[in-house]
Each structure stands twice: as structure tokens, then as C-alpha cells.
Structure 1
Amino acid sequence: MSDQALDTASAIIDAARANPEKRPTIAGFFDEGTNTISYVVHDAATKKAAIIDSVLDYDAASGRTATRSAGLIKDYVEENGLEVQWVMETHAHADHISAAPLLQQQLGGKLAIGKDIIRVQDVFGKIFNAGTDFERDGSQFDHLFKEGERFSIGNLEAIALHVPGHTPADMAYVIGDTVFVGDTMFMPDFGTARTDFPGGDARDLYRSIRRLLELPRETRIFLCHDYKAPGRDDYAWETTVGQQRDENVHVKDGVSEDEFVEMRTTRDKTLAMPELIMPSVQVNIRGGRLPEPEDNGVSYIKIPINTL
């Protein structure tokens, strides 16, 4: 059975590899505090741009936010004379708070995420007892990408691919000859994302990754995180489909679905919750906006006891 979205993605990649004007210019911004890489992706001809997976600095001990990471992105956009069309999320992150609303206010663009964010909102809305005022329909975002939806950044062709597993709502974005895979996989020496959050599923993740690895081998992959695997001295966040197929320690060619599920499930049981999961998730399901201030003008983060 043909995978029409994947066929289209492959055609976009092949066309960009054949024509340099269809390839994006990419700047990565690494936040060591959360091991997150944010991206500005732009079309050199039109200066139209997208921001992917931005970070709002947050100190858990004091509850204070800061804008150092977002400021680096803002400066880059302004210094290069870019026009932001999209402020995109690959998923509702559990390890950092998004700076998307701040950057949208400063630079413009549509705030976008995958349409299955409504499933994540429903699950975590109940966990955090968000109440009836919290809309669980994705309306906090300007656009909800569907599987196989085509879009553009200036003259750059792009397509959104639904890649569930880490969460039900993860999206990968093929832009020109590249794919931004969010939290599906990491550098080949580190492996793949965890699947033990509510709504995660190891089998779904395996199938999502193997689907992405059907893209042309030369496709450039840009990752959302790097943790420097043992023996590697430098952070890295760019790889290729071919490298992942040949070398990924969790999901390279030859690893079966059952083998992956057994490994991933066993490994996930040993992992602690991310340090910033409580503030991150309840802010990010709101499109990166803080909870509404209470009658004293202060926003509060809830910490459910003995729940996660």
C-alpha cells in the first residue's frame, strides 16, 4: 500500500537535492540547560522563515522565567532581515517551556503544532485539573497541522508528517532536503526518545521512526535534543537517514519491532521524570502561555502529588 505523504516528502527532498534554491538555510540554537536545539529555517531567496521548538528559560527553584534563549533567536532573525511565517512546535515538550508566544509577539508568524495536540490537552488537562476554562480543542494555536499537509516557507516546499510514539501528537517537518524530527530519535550513538509519558507508545514510536527512515538516505535530519553519548565530547544535532539506518543503537536496520519495544520499555522504567515536566507540559499545552493569573495577579504552576 502506497504511503502518499511519504512519497510526497521524498519527492520534495529529491527536488531540493537537485536544486540548491530549494534547500533551506538553517541555524541551530543549543540550550545546554535543557539539551534542546531550536531552529530558524529560512528561504534565502525570499527571506521568509520558520522558528522550530523555541525555549523560554525557566529556573525551577525560583519559578522565574528569562528570555536569553529566545533573545538569540530574535537577534538572528532581525540581523538577517528575515520575515517569520511560522512559529512551530514538533510536540508539547516535557523538558522545556516554549517561547513561541513571546517570539510570535515580537516577530510575527502563525503558531502551529500537530492536530493531535487535542489528545495531549485532554490527558494532561485532567492530570493538572485544568478546569472547564481550559479549552481542549487546540484553539491556543493558530494552525493545527494534519498528516501529509503541505505548506511552504517562502519558496521552500514542506510537508508535515505525523510521527506518534513519544507523545500522540508528535510531528516531523520535511522542509526542502531536510527533516526536523522532534523527539523521535537522537544522534545514532544515543538512540531514541522515551515512550512512558501518558499517551506514549513504543510500538508507535518504532513504526514512526522506521517510516522516517524510508526517506532518501541522503536526507539531512535535525534533532530536537542531544545528550552527548558516553565517549563523545561534543554536542551534535545533525545526522542523515543513512547514518541512522546504519548506526542508531536502538533502531538501526535489522532491529525488529518486538526487540525495540522490549528494549524501550525496559529502559524507560529506569528513567527519572524530566526536571521541568510539571511546568513545561501545563504551559506548553496552552501554546506556551502561562496559566491565567489568579486574583493576586500571579500565575501558578500545579504539582499533582503521586500522579505521574
Structure 2
Amino acid sequence: MQTTHSKVSRHTIRGRAPYRTPAITSKEPTIHDVFESKTGTWQYVVADPATSTAVIIDPVLDYDPATQVVRTDSADALLSLVKDKGYIVDRILETHAHADHITAATYLQKRLAEEQGHRPPIGIGKRIGQVQNLFSQRYSIPREEYENVFDKLFDDDETFNIGELQATAIHLPGHTPDHLGYKIGDNVFCGDSLFHADIGTARCDFPGGSANDLYKSGRKLLSLPDHVKIWTGHDYPPDGRDSVPWISVKEHREQNKHLNDNVMEEEFVAFRKERDAKLAEPKLLHQSLQMNIRAGRLPKPTESGHRMLHLPLKLNGLEW
């Protein structure tokens, strides 16, 4: 497995120290970890070195809530990386319907179809329909704008190929009911289930979330061999440390502040529920959910030509 690192504006492609970078083998991927700093999101380009076939995991579409401006800087940086490396993107993979950033999946799919002559399917877990049905009602999204927007719905433990590599879709519920991780070689891209050891785990208070389920998902991940790398979906570095895309199963078992080997399920659930009750909602919650159940497709324009997202008012008990 090989990681890479270089600099791009506002997003950082990071690698790890040389002693943690083993030689490329036919069974391990090349991994490019790309940090989007405004939402604290790790995006990944994962490639088979034997065939240059690649997947993109959890790409970000830039959005400024102050101006309502949507930009594609982060996604375009991924396209530049793919082009520079000569990769053919075979799939775009989502770990779940994110509530804290807007996905660039559909934008990338369109651009890649134009550039490489192949329309990479967008994949997500088979339970995405539960999330779509709930939030389409909440935000009054027409069915035709979210039905069949994902090309591939993965079954639990379904395997698929990335060139000559084999990957597995692992159901990791808790943060959301549809949540998946993707195991590729000795790497799991775990989305918003485990974070860095000094942060711990993701919140479980979204509809369909469950602290009990997240504990079980975490233990599933930490039952893997010690050397397996867990690549997280986010990092929010405290105390000025650098953003870190992965640590090993062994490090999580020893150091994860919420889910190390000394933490039992009852203790974890009690802590997680108490913690979640005090958390503010994600800053881009409403915008993200409305776009992400559409796989990042834009809302259809109104008669005036505007593309609209709905934002609920908070009245604090007032009515008139």
C-alpha cells in the first residue's frame, strides 16, 4: 500500500511517515487521502497499482452557507489527481448520506463520463431508501428527484473488484442506519463510525441512529487484525495537531477514548447518549441531507429558474 502527499489550495493531500508505507504489492491499493478543511472531511482516491483502476470515496462539493454559492474546487482537485496519475475511475462510493457536507458524486460522475468515456456508477448501502423516504418527506422533495439516483446498492458483505483488488462493503450502522465501510486490502474506509483515537466515535442521534449499534459496529472493526488500517471520514484536530487519516486497529483498541478494549457496551451507550444530547446540529445539516439523498444532484429549477433548498425556521414556541 502506498500513500501520497502534496499540496493543493484549501485541501491537503496527505501521507504518513515513510516507515508506515510498505512497498506496493498486487494485493494492496495505492491510497491518496485528501483533506477538505472547511468541513473536516477526508476524501479518498483508492487505486489498484496493477491496472490503474480507481474508486473515489466520499467526495465533497464546496458550499458557502453565507452566500449560497456552490463551487467545485475540492472535486476538481480530485479530478486533477486522477488525471495526473492516469487512473480510470471505476466507481464513486458513498459511506452514507452525509449530514455535514454535500457530496460531489454526481458532479464527478458527469465530468468523468466526459473525460474518460466511462460513467462510473455511484454506490451506497442498500438501506439508503429508509433515509431518502424520511428526509424527502421532511423537506418536501419530489420522489422523481431522489428515486434511482444511486446506481449500485450494496448488500451487507458484498464483494466487488477494483481492477485486480477485491473490496467488501461492510454494514456499520449506528451513526446512520445505511452506513457502510469499504474494506480494500488491509484497509477499511469507515466513514463516520470511528474517528481519530483522541476524538473517539461519531454521534448517534440522527433518525435511525443507535449507540448500541455503533458500539457493535466499532467492535466489528476492532476485531480485524491489529495491522489493518482504519481510514476515517473526518478529523477535527484538537490542540493544533495535524489532521490524521488513519490509525491501526491495534492503536484504536489501545487508545480510542470511546471504544478501547476497556470500554463495555453499557458504558459506551450511556456516554454517547449524554454526549449527543449536548451537541449542536451540524452547520450544513439541512443543505447536506437534501442534496445527498439526491446523490448530489441539483434540485430541479423553479419556474423562475432558481434551484431551491428548504431551511426550517426555529420559532422557540412562538406562533402568530
On whether the aligned pair clears a TM of 0.5, the verdict is: yes
What's 1:92 paired with? Answer: 97
TM-score where L is the length of structure 1: 0.90
Query: CA shift at 1:131, angstroms?
Result: 3.8
Letter in 2 for 1:141: F
- Match among 66, 69, 80 for residue 85 of structure 2: 80
Pick the aligned partner of 2:252 from 244, 247, 261. Answer: 244
Cα distance in structure 2, aligned partners of 1:154 and 1:34:
31
CA distance in 2, matches of 1:75, 1:43: 18
CA offset digits 1:116-145 (Å, max 9, x no partner)? 10011111112112244445x5x1111001
Deviation by residue 1:167-203 (Cα, 9 ceiling, x = unmatched):
0000000001110000001000110000111111111
Cα separation, 2, equivalents of 1:234 and 1:18: 24
Task: Between the two structures, name the one with larger relative contact order (CA 8 Å, sep ≥ 6).
Answer: 1
- Superposed displacement of residue 20, structure 1: 1.9
What amino acid sits opposite 1:26 in the alignment? I
Q: 1:19 to 1:49 in 2, by over 3 A?
A: closer
SS at match of 1:261: helix
Structure-1 residue corresponding to 2:132:
121
Aligned to 2:160: 151
Letter paired with 2:169? A
> How far apart, in 2, do the equivalents of 1:40 and 1:145 lie?
19
Q: Verify the 8 A CA contact 1:127 1:304 in the aligned structure 2.
A: no
Closer, same or farther: CA 176–120 of 1 in aligned 2, 3 Å? same
Structure 1's unaligned 5+ residue stretches are 1-16
Corresponding letter in the other structure for 2:101 = H
Count of aligned positions: 288
Question: 2:179 aligns to what?
Answer: 170
CA drift of 1:298 comes to 1.3
Letter in 2 for 1:33: K
Match among 297, 302, 305 for residue 310 of structure 2: 302
Aligned positions of 1:230-269 closer than 5 A: 231-269=239-277
Q: Distance in 2 between matches of 1:199 and 1:130?
A: 19
Q: Which residue of 2 aligns with 1:5?
A: none
Q: Is the 1:191–1:250 Cα contact (8 Å) retained in structure 2?
A: yes
Query: Is residue 187 from structure 1 mapped to residue 196 from structure 2 by the alignment?
Result: yes
Amino acid at match of 2:120: G
Hey, what does 2:235 align to over in structure 1?
Answer: 226
Distance in 2, Cα, partners of 1:146 & 1:133: 24
Contact kept? 1:49, 1:83, Cα under 8 Å? yes
Structure 2 counterpart of 1:304, one-letter code? P
TM-score normalised to structure 2 length: 0.87
Q: Secondary structure at the match of 1:22?
A: coil
Unaligned runs of 5+ in 2: 1-21, 113-118, 316-320
**Runs in 1 of length 4+ with deviation above 3 angstroms?**
131-135
Match for residue 214 of structure 1 among 211, 223, 230? 223
Deviation (angstroms), 1:18: 11
Change (3 A) 1:90 1:295: same
